[in-house]
Structure 1
Amino acid sequence: MADEASKKETVDTSSHVAEQMFSDIKSSLPDSVVPIWQSLESNPWLLAATVIAAGFIIAKIAQYVFKTVLGKVASKTKGTFDDHLFVILAKALYSVIFYISLLLAIEALQFSQSTDTFLKRFVVTLLILSLMMKLLKVTRLVLESFSQHKHRFKLIEERTIPILDITTKILIVGAGLYVLIMSWGVNPAAWLASAGIVGIAVGFAAKDTLANLFAGFFIVADSPYKLGDYIILDSGERGRVTHVGIRSTRLLTRDDVEVTIPNSVMGNAKIVNESGGPWEKTRIRINVGVSYDSDLEHVHDVLMEMAKENLDLCSSPEPRVRFRSFGTSSIDLQFMAWIEKPEQKGMISHRLVMTIHKLFKEKGIEIPYSKQDLYVKEWPSSPSGSD
């Protein structure tokens, strides 16, 4: 009984509102207009047309005033966000006033109860859909505006807009449909309970898909990498991030092969982001050894001079030469330098090895290698009687 009472109350809400507004309009009319109103009441269709025409004119005037007054305020601010926002709000104001006039026109026609209720529900449905579309445009506009201020809103940027846009659309459409169903006198509580049971079944059936979906949201929120970053996974994959989607992440490897990795794997993987940190630069290390007879200061100066003339290397931070240990047959050292792009690491390392080898030959610096001498202590004696 309580459900039926709440349903009936929901069904009659729009009718009660329209009747009350219609009554308030009649009671607030000036004395000079009352005779005209009474003459129009004798012809319901003419009264309904007059109400619709008046509602249209009032809606247009309100829209114009709203845009003009707030447009002057928007013209004094930087950017176009408020300009577009006020245009959408002005259209929403027009829709509300015009659809209210349609409800009043239906009330003036004095249809039967069933026809009156159906028409008012239909008009309320159109109003809800119109406002839903306006709200979707506003949220999209807000997300785009936030993404242009990356220093303030780090979570909302170009790569996160699609996911946030989908989320807001789901919430707005879901809330709008809930109100829409309620306006037609249907209690959606039972539907929601059924949807919960179905959701549990779907969750078990599509647990991998849902794991990728939630992992995608966590990746966006945690932001361990972004589009364009060069990353290395603990499984060995290395490449540039070309796409971060709801289900998967795509890497373009140095072989120009695109690898698609599920977000659930990315969420649990150890990721080395070579483009992370204060800049995108990355450091390369070239291991080399020189003989014990070499002048180490001379070796250091030769490598540093080579680094200054090499255009592939960054001047800031400066390249470095570090002698690491006394090896078996050489003094081991590392030449360390920074490069601009992580994906160029292999190519620049190749060039540096060739350059150092050539330069050491020209400067007379020996790069030792392991040598093994074989000493024969005694030749085996030849068998007796043989030559």
Structure 2
Amino acid sequence: MNIESLREAWAQIIAHKWLGALLVIFLYLILAKIVDLIFVKGLKRLASLTKITFDDAILRFLHWPVVLNVALLGLAHATYILNLGSRFEFIVQNLIKTIICLIWTVTAFRFVRWLTKRKGYFAERFGHLGADILVLLKNIAYVIIFVTASFIILSIWNVNITPLLASAGIVGVAVALAARETLANFFGGISLFLDRTYKVGDYIILDSGERGEVIDVGIRSTRIRTRDDIIITIPNSIMANSKIINESAPEPRFRLRVPVGVAYGSDLEKVEKVLLELVKAAPHVEKFPEPRVRYRNFGDSSINLELLCWVDDPRHKGPAMHHLIKRIHERFSEEGITIPFPQRDVHLYPAEESPKEN
């Protein structure tokens, strides 16, 4: 059978509208099955060879929507062949387009839900802020998908959406003006989340001088607890525009500086040896990086130095300093090392007799 014979056979089939429409539907169903096999036998096997799971999920979400789209295109083509009138064709064609739009809308909803299932992971790494923003972004994505799908469906049915867009713009401006502080805090929280400035459990110092542990990072505000067990709540819009010192980043350990002064007659080698010995036995002090002693300057009454060491967590700064000062005082007393204090020598001279008046 040559190509010319095939053309004649196809023309005869097309001459019978219903037979041609059924044949077109059948051919599209075969094409849909071929696409199905390409996904199952080809693409999914290739994706299984990779170490990441994201490509497997993408193929899982695209598989049946693509297959169904091919089948629905067959129905649309068959309707065009039947040529039953512009009104009937308009209704059927737009109905098929609407079904295709709904299929992809449901697929988008499922994909967003899959992306946001890792709420626990974000909560563990970023505290409540990560989980809250994830939920909020999911809801925003749902709204965007729903509104977009609604506008597409209305456009398919030739519904004028210009008034709806104008109304949406007016409502958006009104909401933005009424909730500008809330929106500022919300976007401040998002910027903190994206920048990873701090997370729950970090010790931070604000530019106003307060120091404490971050106990909660929410959509609207951040709360820190000071060493006096006082809770400070700061709006995220302020936190996003403030200088913040994070003592827990990038490493959780914290460098401790202990200032010490010794008398000018002290054996400096002995002083350094004693300090390094006692700091190695101190609680919460890290072995690496190793503690060190650095002489800083000649003071009025002493040679000033610093004992530098690292504690395992900023919350142990106070207890470690307390322990080290006590031990330094005890060991210096045992070793005969003097910690001087400011002294002044007062010299008294006899006053000269004032000259007698004439």
Aligned to 1:16: none
Amino acid in the other structure paired with 1:315: K
Question: In angstroms, what is the RMSD of aligned CA positions?
Answer: 4.5
Superposition deviation, residue 109 in structure 1: 9.1
1:160-171 alignment to 2 at 5 Å?
162=134, 171=144
- Shift of the 181–38 alpha-carbon distance from structure 1 to 2, 3 Å rule, reads closer
- Residue aligned with 1:235, SS: coil
1:241 and 1:333 mapped to 2: Cα distance?
33
2:17 and 2:88 mapped to 1: Cα distance?
24
Aligned to 2:103: 130
Q: 1:91 aligns with which of 54, 58, 64?
A: 64
TM-score normalised over the length of structure 2 = 0.72
Aligned to 1:206: 179
Amino acid in the other structure paired with 1:188: I
Amino acid in the other structure paired with 2:331: L
- Residue aligned with 1:213, SS: helix
1:289–1:332 CA contact under 8 A, matched in 2 = yes
Superposition deviation, residue 302 in structure 1: 0.4
Superposition deviation, residue 285 in structure 1: 1.2
Unmatched 5+ residue regions in structure 2? 1-6, 122-129, 347-358
Amino acid in the other structure paired with 2:318: G
Identity of aligned residues (%): 40
1:319 and 1:28 mapped to 2: Cα distance?
94
Q: 2:324 aligns with which of 346, 352, 363?
A: 352
2:339 and 2:139 mapped to 1: Cα distance?
61
Give yes or no for the alignment of 1:79 onto 2:52. Answer: yes
- Shift of the 242–83 alpha-carbon distance from structure 1 to 2, 3 Å rule, reads farther
Give yes or no for the alignment of 1:338 onto 2:338. Answer: no
Q: 1:276 aligns with which of 249, 254, 272?
A: 249
2:109–2:145 CA contact under 8 A, matched in 1 = yes
Amino acid in the other structure paired with 1:355: R
1:144 and 1:116 mapped to 2: Cα distance?
42
Q: Which piece of structure 1 moves more, 222-231 or 108-117? A: 108-117
Give yes or no for the alignment of 1:314 onto 2:286. Answer: yes
2:8 and 2:192 mapped to 1: Cα distance?
59
- Shift of the 113–356 alpha-carbon distance from structure 1 to 2, 3 Å rule, reads same
CA deviation digits over 1:261-313, x for unaligned, max 9? 32101112110121334x33321112233344433332221001223344632
Aligned to 1:377: none
1:142 and 1:211 mapped to 2: Cα distance?
26
Aligned to 1:186: 159
- Residue aligned with 1:358, SS: helix
Give yes or no for the alignment of 1:217 onto 2:190. Answer: yes
2:194 and 2:173 mapped to 1: Cα distance?
25
1:216-295 alignment to 2 at 5 Å?
216-226=189-199, 228-241=201-214, 244-251=217-224, 253-254=226-227, 259-277=232-250, 279-295=251-267
- Residue aligned with 1:285, SS: strand
2:133–2:190 CA contact under 8 A, matched in 1 = no
Amino acid in the other structure paired with 1:346: G
Superposition deviation, residue 40 in structure 1: 9.1
1:67–1:86 CA contact under 8 A, matched in 2 = no
Q: Which piece of structure 1 moves more, 312-321 or 79-88? A: 312-321
Superposition deviation, residue 69 in structure 1: 1.1
- Shift of the 363–85 alpha-carbon distance from structure 1 to 2, 3 Å rule, reads same
Unmatched 5+ residue regions in structure 1? 1-26, 42-46, 149-157, 375-387
Aligned to 1:296: 268
2:263–2:303 CA contact under 8 A, matched in 1 = yes
2:271–2:337 CA contact under 8 A, matched in 1 = yes
Aligned to 1:23: none
CA deviation digits over 1:143-174, x for unaligned, max 9? 999xx9xxxxxxxxx78982765665555444
1:67–1:87 CA contact under 8 A, matched in 2 = no
Aligned to 1:6: none
Tell me the number of residue pairs that the alignment of Structure 1 and Structure 2 aligns: 332
Superposition deviation, residue 247 in structure 1: 3.1
Q: 2:43 aligns with which of 70, 82, 85?
A: 70
2:185–2:235 CA contact under 8 A, matched in 1 = yes
Aligned to 1:367: 339
